[in-house]
């Protein structure tokens, strides 16, 4: 009986295993390569890897990546942070843990502690991991007082729907659907179906819209960027900047929408 009871109390779940990723490169991108924040590259051939990433990054004089990857044994994880208005930012993997059902990766987004040189940058980090069929889940962190904003949407509307230049804080599903409905007038997809339902018991939505006039056909597509969210003693400060400009046709209206953990502090926007 004692043996049976002891056996029945045993936990047969495997213990989590901590992995140590191999760092291939980290720093600031000197040109903008895209706005996706995570690339996971597996089963790529060597030519694709060299042409798509090694040559691109080497051309920016930011370090030589490993050029010979055994794609049957390893996968490449590329993290790219959002646009920043100064140097001194960084992004890095602080832990990789293999659990029974997934591979859990904790990512830290670091910000400069003091005012830094003004320059448009995009922090990146590239590591090599053993290949695995388990899904990868991410947890993003920022050291206090910075708050990591989870991206909901970033892009350009056609500028015909009458959304004024404004900053918005949304705390309920009704206001969120109303905003998406108005944005649909200018979008090429149904935003209500495309964007996820927000859990407003846990999160709030922060949105910023730019609005400006231009003369056809030379209209600057001026992207708008929420670059920092900082928790102060009495409020949550949101830093908004215009960092990336290209020329295009039409009357574009940039927007940037993120979610952060729910807070009772007022949201205060600052445009730089």
Q: How far apart are CA 85 and CA 62, in angstroms?
A: 19
Q: Tell me if 268 sits within 8 A of 240, measured CB to CB.
A: no
pLDDT attached to residue 1: 45
pLDDT attached to residue 199: 94
User: For the segment 11-54, what is each residue's pLDDT rounded down to a tens digit?
Assistant: 566 788 999 999 988 888 766 655 556 677 766 777 777 777 77
Residues whose CB is less than 8 angstroms from the CB of residue 17 and which lie 6 or more positions away in sequence, other chains included: 97, 98
Assigned domain for 2 exists: no
- The pTM of the full predicted model, rounded to 2 decimals, is 0.82
39 with 130, same domain: the answer is yes
Of the chain, the percentage scoring pLDDT greater than 70 comes to 77
Residue, of 97 and 157, whose pLDDT is higher: 97
Of the chain, the percentage scoring pLDDT greater than 90 comes to 38
136 with 176, same domain: the answer is no
H or E segment to which residue 228 belongs: strand 219-231
CA atoms within 13 A on the CB side of 270: 10
User: For the segment 129-156, what is each residue's pLDDT rounded down to a tens digit?
Assistant: 998 889 999 999 999 999 999 988 888 7
105 with 166, same domain: the answer is no
Assigned domain for 3 exists: no
Q: Under DSSP, is residue 258 helix (H, G, I), strand (E, B) or coil?
A: strand
Q: Tell me if 245 sits within 8 A of 219, measured CB to CB.
A: no
Structural domain for 136, as ranges = 17-141
CB atoms under 10 Å from CB of 144, counted, come to: 8
214 with 240, same domain: the answer is yes
95 with 47, same domain: the answer is yes
Average model confidence (pLDDT) across the chain:
81
pLDDT attached to residue 201: 96
129 with 40, same domain: the answer is yes
Q: Which residue has the tokens 């900082």?
A: 230
Assigned domain for 8 exists: no
133 with 108, same domain: the answer is yes
Q: How far apart are CA 107 and CA 142, in angstroms?
A: 9
Residue, of 149 and 164, whose pLDDT is higher: 149
Residue, of 247 and 19, whose pLDDT is higher: 19
The DSSP bridge pattern shows strands 90-98 and 136-141 to be unpaired
Angle, CA 102 vertex, CA 100 and CA 108 arms, to 5°: 125
pLDDT attached to residue 10: 55
Interval 266-271 mean pLDDT: 96
User: For the segment 199-224, what is each residue's pLDDT rounded down to a tens digit?
Assistant: 999 999 999 998 765 655 556 556 78
pLDDT attached to residue 164: 84
Assigned domain for 112 exists: yes
**167 — pLDDT class (breaks 50, 70, 90):** very high
**115 — pLDDT class (breaks 50, 70, 90):** low
The DSSP bridge pattern shows strands 267-271 and 236-248 to be parallel
H or E segment to which residue 269 belongs: strand 267-271
Counting the structural domains of the chain, the total is 2
pLDDT attached to residue 246: 58
pLDDT attached to residue 63: 58
**64 — pLDDT class (breaks 50, 70, 90):** low
Assigned domain for 10 exists: no
């Amino acid at each position: 009986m004692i043996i049976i009871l002891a056996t029945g109390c045993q936990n047969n779940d495997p213990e989590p295993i901590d992995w140590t990723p191999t760092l291939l490169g980290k720093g600031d991108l000197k040109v903008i390569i895209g706005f996706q924040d995570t690339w996971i590259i597996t089963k790529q051939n060597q030519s694709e890897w060299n042409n798509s990433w090694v040559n691109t990054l080497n051309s920016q004089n930011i370090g030589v990546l490993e050029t010979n990857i055994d794609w049957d044994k390893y996968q490449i994880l590329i993290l790219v942070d959002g646009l920043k208005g100064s140097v001194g930012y960084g992004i890095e993997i602080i832990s990789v843990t293999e659990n029974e059902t997934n591979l859990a990766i904790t990512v830290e987004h670091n910000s400069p502690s003091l005012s830094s040189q003004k320059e448009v940058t995009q922090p990146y980090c590239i590591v090599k991991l053993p290949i695995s069929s388990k899904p990868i889940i991410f947890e993003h962190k920022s050291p206090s007082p910075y708050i990591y904003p989870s991206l909901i949407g970033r892009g350009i509307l056609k500028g015909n729907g009458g959304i004024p230049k404004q900053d918005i804080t949304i705390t309920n599903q009704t206001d969120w659907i109303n905003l998406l409905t108005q944005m649909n007038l200018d979008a090429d997809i149904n935003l209500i179906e495309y964007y996820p339902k927000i859990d407003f018991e846990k999160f709030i939505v922060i949105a910023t819209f730019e609005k400006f006039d231009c003369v056809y056909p030379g209209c600057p597509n001026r992207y708008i960027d929420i670059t920092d969210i900082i928790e102060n003693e009495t409020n949550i400060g949101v830093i908004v900047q215009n960092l990336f400009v290209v020329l295009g046709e039409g009357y574009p209206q940039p927007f940037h929408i993120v979610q952060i953990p729910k807070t009772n502090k007022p949201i205060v926007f600052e445009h730089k």
